[in-house]
Homo-oligomer: A and B are copies of this chain.
Amino acid sequence: MSIVVVGFLAYDTIETPNGHAEDVLGGAASFFSVSACFFAPVSVVAVVGSDFKREHYQIFTDRNIDLRAVAKREGETTRWSGRYHEDLINRDTLELNLNVLEGFKPELLPDQRRSDYIFLAPNDPALHLHVLDQLSSPKIVCADLYDYWIENTRPGLIRELKRIQILLCNDHEARLLSGEHNLVKAARALLALGPTTILVKRGEYGVLLFSRDSTFAVPAYPLEEVVDPTGAGDTFAGGFMGYIARSGKVSQAVLRSAVVYGSVMASFVVESFSLDRLLALSWDDVDNRRRSFLELTDPHHPRWTSQS
């Protein structure tokens, strides 16, 4: 039931209208693994530089997140720096230094190759295919898109799509890849390319899940203060894949609950910079917000129907 995530670990420097954080732990694999480990064991495939701090290793090891396949190389860890606009949605990348990530080819350990649940964070489809070639017979491979790779490596991406079950993307990426403006048509076009499930992340507007025979939609949990949206998508993916791995099967009911848990986890991470809120989280916090989330979205919620 353990999940393998192939992604990167990074140090982020972030400015938002509500604050500023420098050289804090980030990268898709960080957010994903700390979120997913609430549900199932997680194993990370990534690379860090010689500057990667002991306290950051410890964040993972404290949570039994397996770092055996995190390569340590001479040089600096990947660094990203960005500034969010007033709307806390749009952002400008001020700097991106891949550093030790340059030329990285992920090699999975023998037990990781036999894993049932794989998450491929956004990266070059060639790298994703290299990982897929190492897997024996995964139940679920979920890959996250990034518009750069749609524009620049479409043939590789199309090959990749035939080999994954769940595709994660945002509105813009779904439209770009399918060539359809309407999201229902876009999702149907993407389903025809291979995946059995398309998940469209819409930020503050929630998530749409498209399968061949069903569509599911949830709003985002409305928050009074968003401090830093960085990592929301990766944290969503962690809760989503974590719940699937914990369930050990993929029915429509499991996918729907997984979307709810993903949304719940994402609603926490944006309340602070970096992983701060996730690291302070208890299972009770998760469970309570899940209840609030269900109350938020259920037109016939017992709390209100019993009064009427």
Residues of A bordering B, CB below 8 Å = 86-87, 181-185, 202, 205-206, 208, 214-219, 222-226, 249, 251-254, 256-257, 259-260, 294-301, 304-305, 307-308
Contact = CB atoms under 8 A, between A and B. Distances in A.
Q: Tell me how many chains of this kind the complex includes.
A: 2
B202 A304 contact: no
Nearest to A251: B308
Given A251-B308, A299-B256, A206 B219 contact: yes
A294 B304 contact: no
Contacts of A254: 308
Contacts of A219: 205-206, 208, 217-219
Contacts of A225: 182
Shortest 6 CB-CB contacts between residues of A and residues of B: A253-B308, A217-B219, A251-B308, A252-B304, A205-B205, A256-B299
Contacts of A208: 219, 222
Contacts of A217: 206, 219, 222, 296-297
A182 B296 CA distance: 18
B253 A305 contact: yes
B182 A218 contact: no
30 contacts: A86-B181, A87-B181, A182-B226, A184-B222, A202-B205, A205-B205, A206-B217, A206-B219, A208-B222, A214-B295, A216-B297, A216-B299, A217-B222, A217-B296, A218-B219, A218-B297, A218-B299, A249-B308, A251-B304, A251-B308, A252-B304, A252-B308, A254-B308, A256-B299, A256-B301, A256-B304, A257-B300, A260-B299, A297-B297, A298-B298
A28 to B, nearest CB: 25
A294 B299 CA distance: 9
Contact of A222 (B183, B222, B305): B183
A256 B294 CA distance: 13
A259 B308 contact: no
